[in-house]
Amino acid sequence: MNLPNLLSIIRIILTPLFIILLFSNVPNAKFFALLVFAIAAITDAYDGYLARKYNQITPEGKFLDPLADKILVLSAFISFAFIGIIDFWMVGVIIFRDSFITGLRWIISNRGFEFVTTNISKYKTALQLTLIILTLIFLTFEGLSIVELTPTLNLIRHYNIIYILTLLTAIFTAYTGVVYLYTNRIIIKEFMKNS
């Protein structure tokens, strides 16, 4: 097993730890959840980079990397819905888009076709990770009772900033799915003809 694939597996292993910490009542647990998620997000940035740099791109890696991303990101959004910060339908939109595209890409690649990855999909992942980290920072500070931060936290709560940002992220995520399908329409048609 090469290093990029190992990083993807580490990201999958870190996800349950992140969830346990997020729902824990132990002091500073939210901060440690943020830390674990940040470490996992860093592995996401490096596994693809290392695979390309050292020519270690493998079929396993092409499967593991997006799978690890989906497990980490979707676990965070589902957790936020259970906490009550966002609505489950937003999570449903994100899950449907990511699961559908990942499943379709896996099926098609097993038949020898190669999907074109668009930059907009990378922006989508970056946006999702940024939103999750911002939400975790909010939850961390909310639990610390720092007087100086109270007005800012109240403002975020009053105007439903996390909710609105997640709504925009869900819409953008759905849009990237449409763009992804349109960009790969010729490959999809070829796959359908040969099925």
The whole-chain average pLDDT of the chain stands at 90
Answer yes or no: pTM beyond 0.75.
yes
CA 131, CA 148: separation in Å to the nearest integer?
A: 23
Give the whole-angstrom CA distance, residue 89 versus residue 105. Answer: 24
State residue 140's pLDDT score.
94
- Joined together, the tokens standing for residue 16 give 């349950």
Average pLDDT over residues 26-46: 92
Smallest CA-to-CA distance from 10 within 90, 69, 62 is with 69
Residue scoring higher pLDDT (33 or 111): 33
The confidence score (pLDDT) of residue 5 equals 87
SS3 118: coil
Nearest to 121 by CA among 103, 142, 98: 98
Evaluate if residue 21 carries a pLDDT over 90.
yes
Can you list the domains of the chain with their CATH numbers? 3-194 (1.20.120.1760)
> Residues 135-156: what's their mean pLDDT?
90
pLDDT tens digit string along 91-121?
999 999 988 988 888 888 888 888 887 789 8
Cα–Cα distance, 170 to 95 (Å, whole number): 10
How many C-beta atoms lie closer than 10 Å to residue 162's C-beta?
18
